[in-house]
């Protein structure tokens, strides 16, 4: 059969119904119950006829498997030989054998399908809850840890154990290993058959080949290690998570997947991870740990002893214990179901392999070289560009340095021998996007080559030009990359400190989209106001010894400080800009007025200088509410031009209740207008006195109303339809 036909057959298995049939076939080969559709099920997943047709084949396969009982795959044999030799000087419980009857996750997607019953969208286990969602599945572990304190335990007798890690006796590890390989029925329950009475109980396993050393063409091939993961059936979602990150290396029983037969791409190191959350329930005495009086100083410091016979190991908290030495085999038991532990353990084993193999650096080493890039104009004038550079090389000088590595063309440019996509151009070459060409003078004649996005054009100074398309717009630009980069060393920080972010591109953080500028000059003036504003007096309470505020663009002000500076805060007073710039200032959205109870004399707005005026305002406001049927528009603040149009908790737009049959009794709907309530006579008199002081500005359509009245600091003013007072 041709290879492409085999690939087509494998792809067909990824169809969901075929995948379910394949899982049933695997369960049948293990002698486990299969998934069966309910009699009244609308959608049928299982094919009973297929199972009946393959029954004899399955029985034959099971008999052959029985005859091979105890035969381990190559990777399991390497792990088993390491454990037997490592623990040979202590008593090992019977049954500490790497299991051979696991449900093998030999195809990508099997773990995800097994994580839920085919006819159900939920599964609730002791350690994890799983839900089927539109994007796939959602797993909620019972424990979502965010600390690693006291979690790293290392078995004695191998490589030295650091003092910040806990040293575990071999006897205790042997008993932990036995408990990890023999979980109870509740843990081994397979979610795939959890919706029926006859449930499957198995261990699941996954083989991965995580990359340790990337390929360097012409120097070294890619190198990877082998890792075999085991988990009780109910925690198969943990292996699905690991598979999503590190991939699936297939069936560990097949010779084609034996890393030892692929010496060119194998580092020679083997890993094993067993997920066993039940280990947190083990007692220290049962693990063979000594009592406190008989323990060594290190055992007492690490908690590897007991005072009470019922004292549980590690105080019942999650942990992981690792057994390894310089032979290149590492076995880890994870006493938790937190998905992150499984992922981090694989990364730890990658670092272990990298350190033993050499010629590779683990994750926390190194850094990145950042080369500044910029966008040039549509055309690049070579003469003008070269004059801006200090001490620029000529084309002849550059070719002398690259002698033997480039092919100089008769037209006066050169092509790199090893990388033909790199073209070296003269220092005075002109680049024209519209004509898609690069031109220069050579021998008294104009020469040219076509400008292509597949080529990189190198200037004698080392600057690289490349034609690139705009990410969003149908535009082409010339991207210039500087020849000298900045070495960004990756710091050694705690977990979550952002080490990996230093080597990631910021391109994904840049959003592209259209925007309109009505008056560029005015907008720059607004920006200048923000940048040059004196923020010294932004605080309500200023210390006498406070230093002057740093300028907004001061090199001593961090980005986070600038963001915080423009973020609303109850600790700051209302910031007023000059009146001529107050109407539509960009800071308007960031200005807030503190509640009345928090305002001092300096923070009061005009019209609220005395408490009696505030009390009169509240009485007038209550009268308007009563006459308006207690309906009012929720407008606690109206901001215009960086100033509050009215103080908080004292501004209301009153309206009659709305009853349009839609169940809304307060507020305004689209296209509805405010109905002006009739105030008391003494309010009308106050209105006539103050309305001349109001100045009208446009109001958004959603807030427009006819004859609405606005109260401010004891004064009531009449507002024209579609307008609101700017200053009161």
**Number of independent structural domains in the chain:** 5
Candidate from 98-112, 264-278, 667-681 with smallest mean pLDDT: 667-681
The predicted pLDDT at position 497 comes to 61
Q: How far is CA 280 from CA 204, 283, 311, 322, 348, in A?
A: 21, 8, 11, 15, 22
* Bridge partner residues of 441 (DSSP): 446
Q: How many residues does the chain have?
A: 728
339 and 201 belong to one structural domain: yes
34 and 115 belong to one structural domain: no
How does residue 387 score in pLDDT terms, banded at 50, 70 and 90? confident
CA 219 – CA 479 distance, rounded (Å): 30
Which residue among 598, 617, 647 closes a domain?
598
65 and 26 belong to one structural domain: yes
Residues 202, 102: contact at Cβ < 8 Å?
A: yes
The predicted pLDDT at position 367 comes to 66
Q: Does any domain span residue 339? A: yes
Question: Can you list the pairs that 302-311 forms with residues at least 24 positions away whose Cβ atoms lie under 8 Å?
Answer: 302/166, 302/167, 303/166, 304/166, 304/167, 304/168, 304/169, 304/172, 309/283, 309/285, 310/283, 311/283, 311/284, 311/285
Q: Does any domain span residue 464? A: yes
Which residue among 467, 488, 509 closes a domain?
488
The predicted pLDDT at position 697 comes to 39
Q: Could you report the per-residue pLDDT of 397-430, keeping only the tens digit for each?
A: 999 999 999 999 999 999 999 999 999 999 999 9
Residues 79, 154: contact at Cβ < 8 Å?
A: no
Q: Could you report the per-residue pLDDT of 230-246, keeping only the tens digit for each?
A: 999 999 999 999 999 99
Q: Does any domain span residue 384? A: yes
CA 381 – CA 393 distance, rounded (Å): 17
322 and 379 belong to one structural domain: no
Averaged pLDDT, 88-112: 92
Q: Does any domain span residue 512? A: no
Mean pLDDT score of the chain: 77
Residues 628, 656: contact at Cβ < 8 Å?
A: yes
273 and 155 belong to one structural domain: yes
Give the per-residue SS3 of 326-386: CCCEEEEEEECCCHHHHHHHHHHHHHHHHHHHCCCCCCCCCEEEECCEEECCCEECHHHHH
Which residue among 357, 389, 404 closes a domain?
357
The predicted pLDDT at position 170 comes to 95
The predicted pLDDT at position 8 comes to 45
> Which range of residues forms the domain containing residue 451?
369-488
Q: Does any domain span residue 394? A: yes
Residues 667, 630: contact at Cβ < 8 Å?
A: no
Q: Residue 585, SS3?
A: coil
Q: Does any domain span residue 658? A: yes
Q: Does any domain span residue 504? A: no
Q: Which residues, at least 6 apart from 54, have a Cβ–Cβ distance to it below 8 Å? A: 25, 28
**How many C-beta atoms surround the C-beta of residue 660 within 10 A?**
9
380 and 345 belong to one structural domain: no
CA 117 to chain CA centroid, Å, is 29
How does residue 547 score in pLDDT terms, banded at 50, 70 and 90? confident
The predicted pLDDT at position 565 comes to 84
411 and 314 belong to one structural domain: no
Closest of 343, 338, 308 to residue 206, by C-alpha = 343
353 and 380 belong to one structural domain: no
182 and 321 belong to one structural domain: yes
The predicted pLDDT at position 641 comes to 37
123 and 247 belong to one structural domain: yes
The predicted pLDDT at position 296 comes to 93
154 and 275 belong to one structural domain: yes
């Amino acid at each position: 059969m041709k290879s492409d036909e085999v690939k087509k057959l494998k792809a067909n298995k990824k169809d969901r119904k075929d995948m379910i049939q394949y899982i049933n076939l695997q369960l049948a080969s293990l002698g486990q119950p299969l998934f069966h559709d309910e009699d009244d099920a609308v959608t049928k997943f299982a094919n009973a006829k297929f199972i009946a047709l393959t029954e004899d084949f399955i029985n034959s396969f099971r008999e052959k498997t029985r005859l091979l009982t105890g035969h381990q795959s190559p990777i399991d044999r390497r792990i088993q030989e390491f454990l037997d030799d490592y623990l040979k000087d202590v008593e090992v419980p019977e049954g500490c054998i790497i299991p051979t009857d696991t449900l093998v996750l030999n195809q990508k997607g099997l773990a995800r399908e097994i994580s839920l019953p085919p006819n159900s969208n939920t599964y609730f286990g002791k350690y994890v809850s799983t839900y089927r969602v539109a994007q796939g599945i959602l797993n909620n572990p019972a424990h979502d840890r965010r600390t690693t304190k006291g979690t790293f335990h290392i078995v004695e007798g191998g490589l030295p154990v650091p003092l910040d890690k806990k040293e575990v006796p071999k006897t205790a590890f042997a008993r932990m290993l036995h408990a990890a390989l023999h979980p109870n029925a509740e843990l081994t329950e397979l979610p795939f058959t959890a919706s029926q009475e006859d449930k499957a109980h198995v261990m699941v396993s996954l083989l991965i080949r995580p990359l340790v050393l990337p390929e360097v063409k012409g120097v070294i091939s890619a190198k990877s290690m082998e890792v075999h993961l085991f988990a009780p059936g109910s925690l198969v979602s943990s292996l699905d998570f690991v598979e999503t990150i590190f991939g699936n290396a297939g069936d560990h029983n097949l010779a084609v997947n034996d890393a030892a037969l692929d010496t060119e791409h194998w580092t020679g190191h083997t890993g094993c991870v067993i997920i066993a959350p039940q280990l947190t329930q083990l007692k220290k005495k049962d693990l063979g740990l000594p009592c406190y009086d008989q323990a060594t100083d290190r055992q007492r410091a690490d908690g590897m002893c007991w005072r009470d016979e019922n004292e549980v190991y590690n105080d019942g908290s999650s942990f992981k214990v690792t057994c390894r030495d310089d032979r290149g085999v590492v076995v880890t038991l994870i006493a938790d179901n937190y998905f992150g532990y499984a992922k981090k353990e694989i990364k730890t084993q990658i670092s272990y392999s990298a350190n033993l193999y050499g010629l590779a650096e683990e994750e926390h080493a190194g850094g990145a070289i950042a080369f500044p890039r910029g966008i040039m104009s549509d055309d690049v004038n070579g003469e003008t560009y070269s004059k801006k550079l200090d001490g620029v090389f000529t084309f002849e000088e550059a070719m002398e340095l690259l002698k033997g590595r480039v092919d100089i063309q008769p037209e006066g440019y050169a092509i790199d021998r090893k990388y033909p996509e790199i073209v070296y151009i003269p220092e005075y070459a002109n680049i024209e996007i519209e004509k898609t060409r690069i031109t220069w003078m050579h021998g008294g004649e104009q020469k040219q080559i076509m400008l292509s996005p597949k080529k990189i054009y190198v200037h004698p100074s080392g600057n690289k030009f490349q034609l690139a398309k705009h990410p969003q717009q149908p535009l082409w630009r010339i991207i210039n990359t500087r020849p000298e980069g900045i070495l960004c060393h990756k710091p050694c920080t705690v977990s979550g400190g952002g080490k990996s972010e230093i080597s990631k591109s910021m391109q994904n953080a840049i959003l592209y989209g259209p925007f309109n500028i009505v008056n560029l000059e005015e907008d720059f003036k607004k920006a200048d106001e923000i940048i040059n504003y004196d923020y010294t007096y932004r605080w309500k309470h200023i210390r006498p010894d406070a230093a002057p505020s740093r300028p907004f663009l001061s090199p001593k002000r961090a980005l986070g400080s600038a963001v915080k500076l423009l973020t609303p805060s109850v600790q700051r007073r209302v910031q007023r800009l000059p009146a001529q710039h107050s109407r539509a200032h960009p800071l308007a959205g960031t200005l807030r007025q503190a509640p009345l109870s928090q305002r001092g004399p300096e923070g009061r707005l005009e019209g609220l200088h005395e408490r009696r005026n505030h009390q009169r305002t509240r009485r007038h406001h209550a009268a308007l509410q009563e006459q308006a049927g207690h309906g009012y528009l929720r407008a606690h603040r109206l901001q215009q031009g960086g100033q509050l149009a009215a103080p908080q908790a004292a501004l209301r737009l009153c309206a009659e209740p709305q009853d349009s049959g839609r169940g809304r009794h307060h507020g305004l709907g689209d296209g509805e207008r405010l109905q002006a309530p009739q105030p008391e006579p003494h309010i009308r008199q106050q209105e006539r006195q103050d309305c001349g002081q109001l100045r009208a500005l446009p109001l958004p359509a959603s807030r427009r109303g006819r004859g609405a009245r606005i109260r401010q600091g004891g004064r009531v003013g009449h507002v024209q339809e579609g307008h609101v007072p700017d200053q009161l």
